[in-house]
Amino acid sequence: MKFMRKSALILAIAPLIFTIAACSGESDQTTSNQGSDRTDTVKSRGQLICGVSGEIPGFSFVGTDGKYSGIDVDVCRAVAAAMFDDPNAVEFRNLNAKERFTAVQTGEVDILSRNTTWTLSRDTSVGLEFAPVVFYDGQGIMVRKNSGIKSLADLKDKAICVQTGTTTEQNLADQMRKRGINYKPVVFEDVNITFATYAEGRCDGVTADRSALVSRRTTLPKAEDNMILDEAISSEPLAPAVAKGNTTWNNVVTWVVYSLVKAEELGINSQNVDQLANSNDPEIKRFLGKEGNLGEGLGLTNDFAAKVIKHVGNYAEVYDRNLGSKTKFNLVRGQNQLWSKGGLLYSPPFR
Ligand SMILES: N[C@@H](CCC(=O)N[C@@H](CS)C(=O)NCC(=O)O)C(=O)O
């Protein structure tokens, strides 16, 4: 057994897998894994349908000109670039926290790229399949500077605005229970009402992912009068997701995300990508599709990563454009730095 080849092992257990799948009524999922999956649907449509929030500047936001921008938006543009050599071959659909999972399950969207935390239950019972994390986040609480509130303990018996259908709502309840702090949750389905209620002074604090607080603070009437408490409430790894049972499609999204990270690691960016196509470095040659056939396994051209970087840039370019020091958010990379620079971003090998 120890020396059995993988293919022989698969042949040996295949009948067993078939029997189990048939008995548990999951044969549909098995079929879709073997046959066509979402990749074919998207290809034949010639356009990607991408679920975003549209309400979180820096992540996904619709400008007054109707144009979408943000890191979550760029992930979708990167997938479109890899598939169609066109970052604009995307239709965006705005989804609030409550709507987002149904939209993936029913196939209304091909991909959910919307500040969504990767959790065990979303990976299992909600029927999602996550691609790699695009932003490592954590939950925070924002209060008015003149409120005297400095910690979670100071929120005893206070009203906290929070959006329903989020890990935010659950984490707040966990943390307050753990610390024995009584509080008044003021829950809304709509993000704009959540923050407007806080802005009107009807909540003492508002809680969300820290990045979302930084983002939404810029939309408050007097942004500088508000501060985010230092206390870290949770880990929120934000990742794109697709519907379960679409192995190839998940691989496409997964390796497009990794291509952003790997390009940064290899020093490839939107400015030098064409020039580096002539590089002698075998790793760069393979990554850009000048050698090997890495795209084939994804049903894409071998230069899919070159298309991504040319049109959208590497992870650093995406981050800087949407959240970096030249933006009003000025968010330091922190955990969202490459592993080689002390962060958590790490791509498996392109080989
Ligand atoms: N990352 C958390 C929270 C995500 C979330 O939906 N946050 C709210 C509060 S800022 C939001 O983005 N709302 C925007 C919307 O509903 O369009 C989760 O996955 O549950």
pLDDT digits (tens, 9 = 90+) for 282-322: 999 999 999 999 999 999 999 999 999 999 999 999 999 99
Farthest CA pair distance, the chain? 68
pLDDT tens for 311-349 read 999 999 999 999 999 999 999 999 999 999 999 999 999
The finding on whether 208 has its CB within 6 A of some atom of ligand 1 is yes
Distance 116 CA to ligand 1 centre (A): 7
Q: What are the helix (H) ranges across the chain? A: 6-23, 27-34, 38-45, 71-84, 100-105, 120-123, 167-179, 191-199, 210-217, 247-266, 273-276, 282-287, 304-312, 315-323
**Cα 59 to ligand 1 centroid, rounded to whole Å:** 11
212 lines ligand 1 (CB under 6 A): yes
Residue whose CA is closest, atom 9 of ligand 1? 208
Does the C-beta of 317 come closer than 6 Å to ligand 1? Answer: no
State the CB neighbour count (10 A cutoff) for residue 21: 15
Concatenating the DSSP letter of every residue in 142-188 gives EEEGGG---SGGGGTT-EEEEETTSHHHHHHHHHHHHHT---EEEEE
Which pLDDT tens digit goes with each residue over 85-118?
A: 999 999 999 999 999 999 999 999 999 999 999 9
Domains and CATH numbers, the chain: 44-136+238-341 (3.40.190.10), 148-234 (3.40.190.10)
* Assessment of whether the complete model's pTM goes beyond 0.95: no
Residue range 145-159: average pLDDT?
97
Chain centre distance of CA 153: 31
Q: What is the CA(50)–ligand 1 centre distance, in A?
A: 16
Coil, helix or strand for 237?
strand
Average confidence (pLDDT) over 158-174: 97
Distance 115 CA to ligand 1 centre (A): 6
